[in-house]
Amino acid sequence: MKLILLGPPGAGKGTQSVELSKRYGLPHISTGDILRESVKAGAPLGVKAKTYMDKGELVPDEVVIGIVAERLKGSDTKKGFILDGFPRTVKQAAGLDKALKSILSGIDIVIYFQTSNKVAIERLTGRRVCKKCGFNYHVKNMPPKKDGVCDRCGASLYQRPDDNEATVLNRLKVYEEQTKPLVEYYAKQGILKTVSGDLGVADLFRVLSQMFSEAKLA
Ligand code: AP5
């Protein structure tokens, strides 16, 4: 199954990707995670990307398309993959189509997480992330057992620098202007399915699992 999760920041794409990756044994490819790893490593790509990420702007298309095209050549993508946070512009979607032509067949399904701004803002400003294993928590919706400490590995939690309210509002604006047109792009191809990103984690996972089984994708 070759899957794209599309939706605004805070829609729950990353959270569902982790669960779907476990359930279906597919690699979870998140451009946000790859870029944050580069920032952490102090790599030239990370230094450049950080200037965009901290402001909530998109990293240039050619940089991100190159990263994904390279990642899709990995041997673990033969059975399929979950793309989270990519593509984010029509140019990136065209870049993906081109990369898939030479590697694999096209995308099977694009899930659009239709999400209200109120929910997205509340989720993002309350998100906490594990410094070591990267697991996501939320101060109200998914709190760790011990305040500020990861249940899974015991490392401390931090707030992403782009999760402050001003940057979140800009990320939502950038999403509306540059990413939302992809809803129509994939609807025209007949591969778009819409779910409510406002649902709770478990309910949304149930809806997605049922959708894949009905579409005979899993
Ligand atoms: P990226 O890391 O992709 O961030 P994003 O799209 O802004 O997505 P988020 O991770 O914020 O939201 P999500 O939908 O994954 O929600 P999550 O599951 O984490 O990108 C960051 C930056 O990198 C971009 O701004 C850009 O600069 C750059 N970048 C990345 N990709 C790029 C690209 N392709 N092109 C150019 N630039 C790129 O959940 C959020 C919170 O809500 C968590 O706390 C979670 O616990 C909670 N939660 C999740 N689901 C639910 C639920 N159903 N109910 C209640 N709480 C929930």
Nearest-atom index, ligand 1, CA of 32:
2
How many Å lie between the centroid of ligand 1 and the Cα of residue 197?
A: 12
Specify the residue for token string 């102090």: 42
Res 202 pLDDT > 90: yes
Helix (H, G, I), strand (E, B) or coil at 31: helix
Terminal C-alpha separation, the chain: 7
Is 200 near ligand 1, meaning CB less than 6 Å away?
A: yes
Is 52 near ligand 1, meaning CB less than 6 Å away?
A: yes
Domains of the chain: residue spans and CATH: 2-116+168-214 (3.40.50.300)
**Contact assessment for residue 127 and residue 16, using Cβ atoms and an 8 Å cutoff:** no
The mean pLDDT value of the chain amounts to: 94
Q: What is the pLDDT of residue 103?
A: 61
Is 8 near ligand 1, meaning CB less than 6 Å away?
A: no
Segment among 74-78, 100-104, 122-126, 135-139 with least mean pLDDT: 100-104
Report how far residue 189's alpha carbon sits from residue 127's, in angstroms, rounded to the nearest whole number.
34
Q: Which of these, 18, 59, 10, 21, lies nearest to 39 by C-alpha position?
A: 59
How many Å lie between the centroid of ligand 1 and the Cα of residue 101?
A: 28
Confidence of residue 122 (pLDDT cuts 50, 70, 90): very high
Q: Name the closest-CA residue to atom 25, ligand 1.
A: 56
Res 64 pLDDT > 60: yes
Specify the residue for token string 């451009």: 31
List residues with catalytic annotation: 13, 88, 127, 160, 171
Q: What are phi and psi of 83, to 5 degrees?
A: -95, 125
pLDDT by residue (tens digit) across 66-84? 999 999 989 999 889 999 9
- Cross-strand partners of 157: 130
pLDDT by residue (tens digit) across 176-199? 999 999 999 999 999 999 999 999
User: How far is Cα of residue 31 from the mean position of the Cα atoms in its chain?
Assistant: 7
